[in-house]
Amino acid sequence: MSAGERAKAKAEQIVGKTVRKAAHAVHKETLAAKGAALEARGRMRGAKERARGSFQR
C-alpha cells in the first residue's frame, strides 16, 4: 500500500467521521449522510489498498 493512498484513505475516514458527527449535532441529516459516505469511501479505499498490497508480494 503506497504511503499516499494510505494517507488519503485515513484522511477521508477522519474527515467523514468529523462531518458526520458535526452534522448530527446540528440536525442536518443530509450532511450527515454525506459524511458517512465519505467515511465509508475512506474505509473501502484502505481495504482495497491492503488487498492490493497482499497480492503484490
What was the pLDDT predicted at 21?
Answer: 94
Per-residue pLDDT tens for 10-55? Answer: 999 999 999 999 999 999 999 999 999 999 999 999 898 888 877 7
The predicted pLDDT at position 1 comes to 58
Cell reading at 55:
497480492
Q: Phi-psi region for residue 2, left (φ > 0), alpha (ψ -120 to 50) or beta?
A: beta
Determine contact, residues 55/25, Cβ cutoff 8 Å.
no
